[in-house]
Amino acid sequence: MEFVVNGKTAKVDAGADTPAVELLREGLGLTGAKPACGSGVCGACTILVGGTPVVSCLTPGAAIEGRDVTTVEGLGGTHPVQRAFAAHDALQCGYCTPGFVVAAAAFTDRWRAAHGDVAPTRSQIARAMAGHLCRCGAYESILAAIAAACAGRHDGDDPVPARVEAWEKITGRARYTTDVRLEGQLEGVIIRATRPHARVGAVHVEGAAVAELMPADRVVRYVGQPIAAVAAPTRAAALAAAASAEVEYTPLPAALTTAEAEQPDAPVVYGSRAERRGAPKSNEAPLSPAKWQGNVRGPAAASWRAGTAMRRIDEARERGDQRLVSATFTTATQVHTAMEPHACVARWDDKGELHLHLSTQAVSAVAAEAAKRWSLKPAQIHIVADHVGGGFGSKVHITSDLVAAVELARITAAPVRVVLDRAEELTDGGSRPATRIELSLLADAGAGLAAMSLDAWSDGGTSIGSNAAALSRYIYGTAPRRLRDFDVLTHRPPAAPFRGPGGPPMAWALEQAVDEIAHRCGEDPIALRRRWDGNPKRRALYDWAAALPAWTGRQPVGSPDGRFRRGVGVAATNWLYLLDPGTEIELVVQRGVVVARTTTQDIGTGSRSVIADLVRTELGLPAGRVRVEVGRTGTVYGPASVASSATPSIGPAAIDAARRLRAALPAGPVLESLGDAEGVRVVGKRRRDRRGYVTPFPIGNLAIGRGFAGAVHLTEVEVDARLATVRVTRVWCGIAAGHIYAERLARSQCEGGIIQGIGYALFEQRHVDPATGVVLTDNLEDYRIPGIGDTPEISLHFHQEGWEHVTGHGVGLGEMSTVGMAASIGNAVHAATGWRPHDLPIRPDRLREGIS
Ligand code: FES
């Protein structure tokens, strides 16, 4: 097959049906186009054919034969849109970026030819980019970048981007694990269970190497659980081998819904103590001890004067007290679905050492786990994760892609790549558990909160880790409260920690109940929170929010009429400050450049750029004299990108390292001394906070720092009463996380968290067939995540005081930006319509029933 790619004639030996994306990536090594969804929904594989954007996953080779094809590599890094993406930080993990850039370049050229140098409106850009998805939620910056490029503001010089690796991502040069192709590499595919609960006997596969992936008891507990993996020279051959596999099942009864699972005679997911100990976890924190009864684990209690709380609530109920709000709130399962799926390329070398290219958000932790699992010394594990296409909590530990690749590589003595497809990712790639929360909140006359009772049931399939109740322990003073967490286990896929685990469902219930009390008492909801909330940092945020014109000019609850009804809602977030106290950063002078290294990774959060900026600023060096190498083992210990802990860990360590290097060099400007300092090496540490930590020693490498962080979301929605839809039009988000290490990157993080919160509130809901246990929403059409057209105008406010006791004066913020988002939308919908949503997502059928 012959075609012209980026101005050069190319020949590839492949069938006419072979998707163009495969021809380009596997045949020509042009890996800029990413095959992320496989169904033409996400746009990450967009290329230009004859100047027109097409999704190359759905374009057969025959359709590009003899045609002119342009990939992101062909834009050469000189298109105004590429400069604009760099200048506006219109990317985070960067996995969707090549697709956006290619389509945006074509749109910008067409637009300018038709309209001249005029910026299109947000909705015009959103319509043009409607076929593209970004799970990091970089939409606000993408809108700004495309508008600026169309207006001719990026025709000149290359800007200095906020993100040091921006050009690699914008030009398609950045190599992700999915792009790795080693000499002699085989492709691995996982064979997955088709029964929700069964004992597995023999597994027969013809014509391919096979590695078994089952637990010791050979029991599968959900449809989609890995059973074995096969390797073959091509993915097509591996898929064919997997499809021909014969698995012997002895079916066992299954509990496929929480209602079934709660029955006294329900089939149990875990029958023994040992099995329960091996249950996967849906949050990073250590779990409080709790009893098991069948499939129910709990209560795990975090109560404080529970008896008093219940007595007050019961008495208030008896007397019909209006200041008692009792309600049930539910949330749906939200799937991580990072744009780069779970992926691993494994290779064993002649010395028996293991080499991994891995899409991970925890290089250090996974290296330690892998060493333990395969009985290797830490120095025998070599991980490379140069670029990682998102994670959000789903890539923290050893996952099935890694185990499959390693075992197959051992069996075949060849490198093996395993990349999950989107259906696997949406089935077994991790999710936030669904929840049911029963909440009673009692206000004291004229004072504050009198009592709270919050019972949370987490529905995380085969996983445990309910913590929504525990998280409500530390907000709104010290009033008595009974807080109980339960897990209800089912034969469905396990959940995993997801950005702010437990926080969004907790806020969904609590912040709406607080709003309801304010409504019943006729009090301003911000004023009431300010009165109840003793946190001085959040009080400053309340003052900021209360002064916003959107708040002062809002209409009374439920007063808007007609088809389009606007309302404004508020929600507060209380959050922990976590850090990894063992974090180190080494600086080495090499050929006149300061090279910074640590075993952390950059999953789109900007850790590489934070280190570069701090070292450069501290030493007074120009950008080209500092290089950061992260995403690899073989250097000093670095943190996982979890729990908003990475930046408050690496920031102070980078500053400490820079100061040590300055001290190690001769007096005078550092730039002048670098030439004579070849090989000088220092290691900076994350120095202890002035007041120490809450936890006496790190738990899972993390310490809980002193003080609570906070956020306040103010959200405006427009409810279309005829179509029963909700559109978020504007969001103001105040964050009290102290010193902001890199403002542009912090903004991008928070905007992304807000977008994910909108998805949680309005669209995202995993569906599992209650009869078979099959995940039905296994593609990005049926599992809907926010697109660029769902993006509101976002204003961020950082309150930077109150963290003077913390080394570096700043704490993490990524999780806080999402926790209160859905709750603020719920309160805004109530303000617009007078109807309060209790169940997420706020689907049209629910809204229609509520407002009719
Ligand atoms: Fe778009 Fe990560 S930057 S998916």
Distance 91 CA to ligand 1 centre (A): 6
As a whole number of angstroms, the distance between CA 668 and CA 189 comes to 58
As a whole number of angstroms, the distance between CA 466 and CA 501 comes to 9
pLDDT tens track for 432-474: 999 999 999 999 977 799 999 999 999 999 999 999 999 999 9
Q: Is 697 exposed, middle or buried (0-12, 13-18, 19+ CB in 10 A)?
A: exposed
What CA–CA distances, in Å, run from 555 to 235, 541, 718? 58, 22, 13
The pLDDT of residue 61: 95
Kindly state the average pLDDT of the residues 330-349: 98
- Hey, which residues does 487 pair with through a beta bridge? 297, 458
Token reading at 384: 């490379």
Kindly state the average pLDDT of the residues 180-195: 98
Distance 754 CA to ligand 1 centre (A): 14
The confidence band for 725, taking pLDDT boundaries of 50, 70 and 90, is very high
Distance 427 CA to ligand 1 centre (A): 20
As a whole number of angstroms, the distance between CA 297 and CA 290 comes to 6
As a whole number of angstroms, the distance between CA 360 and CA 177 comes to 9
Kindly state the average pLDDT of the residues 721-738: 98
Q: Which residue has the higher pLDDT, 790 or 156?
A: 790
137 Cα nearest atom in ligand 1:
1
331-362 per-residue burial string, b: 16 or more CB within 10 A, e: under 16? bbbbbbbbbbbbbbbbbbeeeeebbbbbbbbb
The confidence band for 700, taking pLDDT boundaries of 50, 70 and 90, is confident
The pLDDT of residue 696: 86
The pLDDT of residue 735: 98
338 Cα nearest atom in ligand 1:
4
Token reading at 315: 């008495």
Distance 95 CA to ligand 1 centre (A): 5
Distance 829 CA to ligand 1 centre (A): 29
Token reading at 682: 């220092």
Phi, psi of 327 (to 5 degrees): -160, 160
Q: Is the CB of 176 under 6 A from ligand 1?
A: no
Which residue from 132, 134, 395, 605 has its CB within 8 A of the most atoms of ligand 1, so it is best to mutate? 134
Smallest CA separation from ligand 1 atom 1, residue: 134
As a whole number of angstroms, the distance between CA 523 and CA 760 comes to 28
Distance 752 CA to ligand 1 centre (A): 9
Q: Is the CB of 138 under 6 A from ligand 1?
A: yes
Kindly state the average pLDDT of the residues 586-593: 97
**Three-state DSSP class for 454?**
strand
Hey, CA dihedral for 373, 374, 375, 378, is it positive or negative?
Answer: negative
As a whole number of angstroms, the distance between CA 852 and CA 840 comes to 18
Strands (DSSP E) contained in 608-724 are 626-629, 681-685, 703-720
Distance 790 CA to ligand 1 centre (A): 16
pLDDT averaged over every residue in the chain = 96
Short-list 628, 566, 573, CA closest to 601: 628
Which residues lie closer than 8 Å to 572 by C-beta, 6 or more apart?
Answer: 475, 507, 511, 514, 529, 533, 538, 541, 542, 710, 711, 712, 820
Length of the chain equals 852
Distance 138 CA to ligand 1 centre (A): 7
The confidence band for 7, taking pLDDT boundaries of 50, 70 and 90, is very high
136 Cα nearest atom in ligand 1:
2
As a whole number of angstroms, the distance between CA 129 and CA 151 comes to 17
Block residue for tokens 């075949």 = 412
Q: Is the CB of 35 under 6 A from ligand 1?
A: no
Query: 824: part of which helix (H) or strand (E)?
Result: helix 821-833
Contact 611, 165 (CB under 8 A): no
Short-list 404, 406, 423, CA closest to 415: 406
% of the chain at pLDDT higher than 70: 100
Contact 570, 526 (CB under 8 A): yes
Distance 44 CA to ligand 1 centre (A): 9
339 Cα nearest atom in ligand 1:
4
Token reading at 784: 């809907």
Contact 618, 659 (CB under 8 A): yes
Q: Is the CB of 134 under 6 A from ligand 1?
A: yes
Provide DSSP, 234-283: SHHHHHHHHHT-EEEEEE-----SHHHHTSTTPPPS--SHHHHHT--BSS
Which residue from 129, 135, 602, 748 has its CB within 8 A of the most atoms of ligand 1, so it is best to mutate? 135
Distance 759 CA to ligand 1 centre (A): 15
Residue 370 DSSP label: H
pLDDT tens track for 516-537: 999 999 999 999 999 999 999 9
Q: Is the CB of 94 under 6 A from ligand 1?
A: yes
Which residue from 141, 339, 361 has its CB within 8 A of the most atoms of ligand 1, so it is best to mutate? 339
Strands (DSSP E) contained in 12-145 are 46-49, 52-55, 68-70
Which residue from 41, 42, 85, 95 has its CB within 8 A of the most atoms of ligand 1, so it is best to mutate? 95
The confidence band for 559, taking pLDDT boundaries of 50, 70 and 90, is confident
Contact 99, 42 (CB under 8 A): yes
Q: Is the CB of 757 under 6 A from ligand 1?
A: no
Distance 336 CA to ligand 1 centre (A): 13
In this model, does residue 312 exceed pLDDT 90?
A: yes
Phi, psi of 352 (to 5 degrees): 80, 15
Distance 96 CA to ligand 1 centre (A): 5
Distance 60 CA to ligand 1 centre (A): 26
The pLDDT of residue 618: 97
Q: CA torsion 602→608→611→615, rounded to 10°?
A: 170
Q: CA torsion 331→336→337→338, rounded to 10°?
A: 150
Residue 184 DSSP label: T
Smallest CA separation from ligand 1 atom 4, residue: 134
390 Cα nearest atom in ligand 1:
2
Q: CA torsion 655→657→660→665, rounded to 10°?
A: -110
Kindly state the average pLDDT of the residues 81-107: 98
Neighbours of 667 (CB within 10 A): 7
What CA–CA distances, in Å, run from 433 to 290, 459, 499, 656, 752? 18, 5, 12, 39, 20
**Three-state DSSP class for 706?**
strand
What CA–CA distances, in Å, run from 763 to 367, 727, 826? 36, 11, 13
Distance 818 CA to ligand 1 centre (A): 16
The pLDDT of residue 284: 85
Which residues lie closer than 8 Å to 647 by C-beta, 6 or more apart?
Answer: 605, 607, 610, 741, 810, 812
Contact 797, 544 (CB under 8 A): yes
Distance 358 CA to ligand 1 centre (A): 17
Provide DSSP, 395-412: TSS--HHHHHHHHHHHHH
As a whole number of angstroms, the distance between CA 651 and CA 579 comes to 11
Helix intervals (H) in 355-398: 363-373
Contact 89, 140 (CB under 8 A): no
Distance 755 CA to ligand 1 centre (A): 12
As a whole number of angstroms, the distance between CA 531 and CA 550 comes to 21
What CA–CA distances, in Å, run from 331 to 306, 434, 505, 604, 835? 25, 5, 6, 27, 17
The confidence band for 569, taking pLDDT boundaries of 50, 70 and 90, is very high
Contact 63, 81 (CB under 8 A): no
The pLDDT of residue 301: 84
As a whole number of angstroms, the distance between CA 496 and CA 399 comes to 11
Block residue for tokens 């005829």 = 722
Q: What is the largest CA-CA distance in the chain?
A: 83
Kindly state the average pLDDT of the residues 98-105: 98
Total H helices, total E strands in the chain: 27, 31
Distance 387 CA to ligand 1 centre (A): 12
Short-list 827, 822, 817, CA closest to 840: 822
In this model, does residue 361 exceed pLDDT 90?
A: yes
Block residue for tokens 């008692």 = 324
Block residue for tokens 């809602």 = 569
Q: Is the CB of 604 under 6 A from ligand 1?
A: yes
pTM for the structure as a whole: 0.97
Q: Which amino acid is at 28?
A: L
As a whole number of angstroms, the distance between CA 644 and CA 159 comes to 29
Distance 603 CA to ligand 1 centre (A): 10
Which residue from 92, 602, 605 has its CB within 8 A of the most atoms of ligand 1, so it is best to mutate? 92
Query: 486: part of which helix (H) or strand (E)?
Result: strand 481-488
93 Cα nearest atom in ligand 1:
2
As a whole number of angstroms, the distance between CA 367 and CA 380 comes to 9
Q: Is the CB of 136 under 6 A from ligand 1?
A: yes
604 Cα nearest atom in ligand 1:
2
Hey, CA dihedral for 770, 771, 777, 782, is it positive or negative?
Answer: negative
Query: 82: part of which helix (H) or strand (E)?
Result: helix 80-88
Distance 353 CA to ligand 1 centre (A): 33
Distance 167 CA to ligand 1 centre (A): 15
pLDDT tens track for 206-260: 889 999 999 999 999 999 999 999 999 999 999 999 999 999 999 999 999 999 9
Helix intervals (H) in 448-546: 468-471, 503-521, 525-532, 536-546
Q: Is the CB of 390 under 6 A from ligand 1?
A: yes
Q: Is the CB of 339 under 6 A from ligand 1?
A: yes
Neighbours of 778 (CB within 10 A): 20
Q: Is the CB of 104 under 6 A from ligand 1?
A: no
135 Cα nearest atom in ligand 1:
4
Block residue for tokens 């020509």 = 28
| Pair type for strands 449-459 and 481-488 | parallel
Provide DSSP, 666-682: PSS-HHHHGGG-TT-EE
Contact 452, 441 (CB under 8 A): yes
Q: Is the CB of 91 under 6 A from ligand 1?
A: yes
